[in-house]
Amino acid sequence: MLILNFTKFPVLETERLILREHALSDAENIFKMRTNEAVMKYIDRERPKDLTDVKTFITTFNEGFENGDNLAWVIALKENPNQMIGSVGYWRTDYANHRAEIGYMLHPDYWRKGIISEALKRTIDFGFNNMNLHTIKANINVENDASRQILIKHGFVKEAHFKQDYYFRGKFLDSEIYGLLNPKH
Ligand SMILES: CC(C)(COP(=O)(O)OP(=O)(O)OC[C@H]1O[C@@H](n2cnc3c(N)ncnc32)[C@H](O)[C@@H]1OP(=O)(O)O)[C@@H](O)C(=O)NCCC(=O)NCCS
């Protein structure tokens, strides 16, 4: 059985990081990240207009957790747990097939320090061993080489290339799908 309805939000730790629940006090940092064009370059989603949009987004995340639909963590450094520097999480959960999609983003001040790798290692382990996922999926813009390389580094393999399957801002974009199988199943 796939498990997403944890009674308590599963706070995770790694050597340098704490992965915790989203709080309304993260709104400003989320706004900065989701309106930063370097971060959003290959994330084909509308940017939040203001803090109200972000607060709605946080509430939706937290309700999604309570309903067992998704599980999204804020990434913070252990030395400063209140300051959100990124996010990682599972969404688009496909219960019937024990599959969920992983997503991640990090503020550019922290890029190339192995932070998302550290967060992915922990959340992939949690996904397979605590949520009982059978497969993890990732969906990238075909030009997002940083994301492609990090997925490959964590053992994901390319499963599909969909041609013009995603409409965003007046264009039909291609998607690349990556997958990772639970090694214990
Ligand atoms: C993609 C992203 C999450 C990487 O985070 P990060 O913490 O800088 O990545 P890491 O330092 O853990 O890098 C791990 C590996 O990923 C690959 N990688 C990371 N950034 C890369 C880049 N700009 N170009 C090519 N490969 C890259 C490398 O293989 C790297 O290993 P190495 O440093 O030993 O060469 C970050 O660049 C980001 O937030 N980008 C914008 C948001 C985004 O596109 N999210 C993914 C949506 S699908």
Q: Separation of 66 CA from ligand 1 center, angstroms?
A: 30
Mean pLDDT of the chain: 97
Residue pLDDT, tens place only, 113-136: 999 999 999 999 999 999 999 999
Closest atom of ligand 1 relative to the 107 alpha carbon: 39
Q: Separation of 7 CA from ligand 1 center, angstroms?
A: 32
Q: Separation of 106 CA from ligand 1 center, angstroms?
A: 9
Q: Separation of 88 CA from ligand 1 center, angstroms?
A: 13
Q: For ligand 1, atom 25, name the residue with the nearest CA.
A: 146
**Helix 51-66 crosses helix 27-34 at what angle (to 10 degrees)?**
110
Kindly state the tokens that stand for 115: 């932070």
Q: Separation of 21 CA from ligand 1 center, angstroms?
A: 23
**Does ligand 1 come within 6 angstroms of the Cβ of 105?**
yes
CA angle 13, 19, 22 (to 5 degrees): 155
In Å, how far are 56, 97, 151 from 46, measured between CA atoms?
A: 14, 29, 24
Q: For ligand 1, atom 41, name the residue with the nearest CA.
A: 39
**Does ligand 1 come within 6 angstroms of the Cβ of 17?**
no
Contact 16, 147 (CB under 8 A): no
Q: What is the pLDDT of residue 4?
A: 85
Residue pLDDT, tens place only, 164-177: 999 999 999 999 99
Looking at the whole model, is its pTM more than 0.75? yes
Long-range contacts of 141-147 (CB under 8 A, 24+ apart): 141/42, 141/43, 141/44, 141/173, 141/175, 141/176, 142/173, 142/174, 142/175, 142/176, 143/42, 144/41, 144/42, 147/42
Residue pLDDT, tens place only, 33-70: 999 999 999 999 999 999 999 999 999 999 999 998 99
Domain 12-181 has CATH 3.40.630.30: yes
Contact 166, 160 (CB under 8 A): no
